[in-house]
Amino acid sequence: MSGGPEAAAGGEGAGELLRLADDPDVFVKRRVDAPPGFFAVEAAGLRWLQVPGGVRVVEPVSVEAEALVLPRLPEVLPTPEAADDLGRRLAVTHAAGAPQLGSPPAGWDGDGFIGPLVLPMRPGTDWAPWYAEHRLLPYLRRAHDTGAVTADGSATIGRVLDRLVADPGVAGEPEPPARLHGDLWNGNVLWTAGGVVLVDPAAHGGHRETDLAMLALFDLPHLQRVLAAYDDAAPLQPGWQDRVGLHQLHPLLVHAVLFGGGYGAQAVEVAGRWA
């Protein structure tokens, strides 16, 4: 995850560095201790998200083991019209689909990353138990081990995992896997003169409500315009608003692992509505 408010763009708080290059038209995202494939899977995700008519994504200039070179994108103030366009285009991106839940981006074989943390790429066919096992449980364990989530809090979130496994219908009717950005907080949404451009994905096959819930987590500008335009282009299932917190549990646990107990407490509070 490129991080929430605690981390600079590019996730500096999590060990990544974002440095302007000598060339004013590019910047270099660098991590000297990058694990194998760290930037390669990000570049693959950016290419996979390039869907005709979908949201624009930044085009990698080059990728190396410890660096990703990207064009520099001057930003402008967000506008309602750009928000409408983002909603419509995001619906197209999601509709491009994925082979199955947990699919990595085309051209990549193996796990991905969300910030410095491994993002499991494991296949699944039923979203609720898949989400419990591969998006909640690994980060709950780590958050508990670091003390970011207390024993009582872990028990509360554990009850949500149990419910997801026992009652998959809690997530709504089954849908085809969507092509997700996967880390769609507002810091990864760049408002440019040519429209919104997305950066820093954790791309994979998943549930489209996940990206929408992430947009809401850190107050994307004109969020209601984005959601209304999306729903108009690709109507969402009844009750999707009630499931926002369920989809936010994963990024909240990731943040708890990276940044500490404040996010852990928030995750437990959200989980309490579902336990």
CA 47 – CA 43 distance, rounded (Å):
6
User: 62 has which bridge partners?
Assistant: 69
Residue 24 confidence (pLDDT): 76
Name the residue ranges covered by the structural domains of the chain: 73-271
- Whether 170 and 201 have beta carbons less than 8 Å apart is answered as no
Quick count: other Cβ atoms within 10 Å of Cβ 191?
20
Q: What is the structure's pLDDT at 18?
A: 53
Residue type, 167: D
pTM for the model stands at 0.92
Q: Which two tokens stand for residue 236?
A: 């969402």
Q: What is the pLDDT along the chain (275 residues), one digit of tens a residue?
A: 444 445 433 333 334 545 555 677 888 888 888 999 999 999 999 999 999 999 999 999 999 999 999 999 999 999 999 999 999 999 999 999 999 999 999 999 999 999 999 999 999 999 999 999 999 999 999 999 999 999 999 999 999 999 999 999 999 999 999 999 999 999 999 999 999 999 999 999 999 999 999 999 998 999 999 999 999 999 999 999 999 999 999 999 999 999 987 999 999 999 999 98
Amino acid residing at 120:
P
> What pLDDT, on the 0 to 100 scale, is given for residue 11?
39
Neighbours of 261 (CB within 10 A): 17
CATH code of the region 73-271: 3.90.1200.10
The CA distance from 243 to 64, in Å, is 39
DSSP 170: G
